[in-house]
Structure 1
Amino acid sequence: AYGVIAVGMLEENLPLSEDATRALSLHYRVVGQTASLVMLESESDYQMYDIQASHPYSTVSDVVPSQIILDVAAENAAIARSPRASLRRIVRDIEAAGTNIVLLNSTLSMLEAIPEVSLDINSPDFGMKSGKGPEHPSLDRLNGNRNAKLQHELASAINNNGAPEASYDAWTLESEARDRAGSQIGALRALTSLLAQNPADVVLRRDIALSAIKMGFPQASFLAFKQVAAARPWEPLSYMQMAKGAQAASLPDLATFLFEVSLGGEWERRFPGFQEVAAMLYARHLHLVNTGVGFGAESSKEGAAYAAGRESEVRAWYEVPARASLVAILTWNQDNTDVDLHVTEPSGGGYYSDDITDGFGPEMYIQPKGKPGEMYEIDVEVFSENPNRLSAPIKVLVEVVKDWGWSTEEYLAKTLVQKGG
């Protein structure tokens, strides 16, 4: 009984308690998240795989579960206070999930040398929309006048003694109404109400994160993808999107490290073109750091020194072009879904990254040498979808950069939602 209780307590604190949990599981023979039963055909098979019949008490004699839980709580508190510790935790979580990640020694040294303020997405100086203050009041509820569909669904839920919840469509209509009224903060807040109803739904988190990118709220996008990464650390897209959020929030050093995480992981084969896209974005980021343009805040001296030597390495290793006439990047919110990017080009010469057929992107189109004045048509096709997803429709984010790498670079983002089946 002691073993079952102790292992259960420690498993609530994985992965920080992994070593102690495994030791107790093996000694007390408790099946759970860290240990399982195995039956082989012969005694020689057990010997070949070094599977012991029992693990001696000496392997757990120094394990005190209550103290480990206190230590883990203290470490979690330190991580919450320290952006640097939070990044170390991200790397540990990736490794604990079974994904190998290789970071350069120079990358790890940079992380330790960079001032913490350069890594803090929660700083009041970063993460908000750029420009002057809002010209409109919050308008969160349009002076109390919610859209009719939302009002009806909330009232029906309350009348049925339920929580005041509403559907995805109702909250989306409310968000669009607030946006038209001039309150993008109110629009984003309406969408986040969906998370209050379904806090564990990672599809909704991706959905809202993509909307936050389009609306221009990089901090909100960063934090949403960080929560997705905590729940599903083996998925690479979250780290690339966090890097982009940090970049847009004027935190170039934070973006640099997260781009390194994106490239350093040995991700699942179902994301074949991921590193090509991440490297393209990372090389552009390093170029902006090295030229001193594109950010509201400068990189720290440690981050700048790292970027100065890293840009040429990334471009050479991943064969990243320095400039392009047009780049389009497609991502979406749902796993087990195939969404295709189609670009109609007037004169040819463009090419795509690998097709993602079982994930949520990214896919990329590059036109290296278009002609001035050419018009491109960009279409998105849902080729196959996950039939088990009911909480949200497929939402895609299309990001287009004209004159990639030039001083005349222009950026456009648009979200699209699949209507119906």
Structure 2
Amino acid sequence: MNVLERLKSYIEKEHLLMSHHKILLTVSGGKDSMLMAHLFVKAGYDIAIAHCNFQLRGEDSELDEALVKKFAEDNCIPFFVSHFDTKGYAKENQISIQMAARELRYTWFEKLRHELGFDRIAVAQHLNDHIETVLLNLSRGTGLQGLQGIFPIRDRIIRPLLFLKASEIEHYVKEYSIAYRDDQSNFSTKYARNKIRIDIIPHFRKLQPDFETIFDQNITHFKESYQLLQQFVEPIRKKIFLVAGDEWVVRKEDLEPYVDNLPLLYELFSAFNFSKAVLSDLQQAWRKASGRIFQSDCYHMLLDRNELFIREKEFVSHDEALVTSETSTVEWKLYCFHAEVSSDLAIVRSNAIVKLDYELLVFPLTIRSWKVGDSFYPLGMNGRKKLSDFFINKKISLFEKENIPIVVNGNGDILWVANYRMDNRYKITSNTKKVLTLVCRTD
């Protein structure tokens, strides 16, 4: 069977495409993607080509683009190119160049797909990429889930060359005299993936000459084992993880039968990326005092009295906002505060509005999150109260209180727990001459 027939067979086996599909090929100019483009042309698929110029390699980046553009023109294929300020994006978002390039290209590919009606986005990863991904995940401790490697199809993205070894791609590129360009960064061992490919895999080949084939079979076994495990775990997960608005709630009584089984606990919480070390801490705290928060890279988990609450992290700024004597409007997180100075002493019964004795204020006022040790004199209550105790009495969770605006006087006193209670010391009285009215809104 020649490579074109093998491609068609693989596409059919993995259900990657239908005959009417329009496909956007992502072509860098390297041998892998140029072979993919060549094969898709020969197979007669309805295709277009997208090329990313990350502007990282000077003239080489321009030559890559020129090669891919010429291929598209020679074969009468629609061609799209985007030039990215990759270094600027990486710096702005405080991520690596590699991560920046990944985010930029996949965002652009999806934009093209959506706007121009493509059914699939084809990426030219091959069997060796598949193996390198598993070895990389193995070194990072991702567990059985990470040993499944690269999937032939995920959402709208397909990888139709996963059946080909790198050595086979090298062979076919020569056989069909396909022009391509090498990216010299692929030969630098400062990148972990390159080090695996250049330094580590050759040693495996010395032990097993048919290493790629054997390892691919092992990946299939890993995937089957993971799927079998999920058949057992998924019904439990669906039973105990209850969706409540923007968070998940787990009743402690529902999790109790499984909490001492760390491997099972790890699989149950795998969707939230909590490590075994964190889940071990959860086990230790399970029958002790409530109020502990546990963290994964993207989620908070609160152990309360009778429930666990899991919420996605909000990557928002925690900067303070200032209210000066001239301020009319100021924003803090999701809230907008409107300020007005008047002599109106009328009492307004709304938790979203506070009226403060202007003469007692020290500007600028500060709007911020609560801090450990905060206390105030709540209106209608006797004496000083810790803000943490006030939140407990109001049954406000640790998640919620992080986003409650605290309005603080210039002398450090808390004036208002916005939407809840003002400080008794700063209420207006019959002796008040001037009033600052603050209105807190979320629109």
Per the normalisation by structure 1, the TM-score is 0.25
Per the normalisation by structure 2, the TM-score is 0.24
Greater helix share, 1 or 2? 1
Greater strand share, 1 or 2? 2
Structure with the bigger RCO (C-alpha within 8 Å, sep 6+) is 1
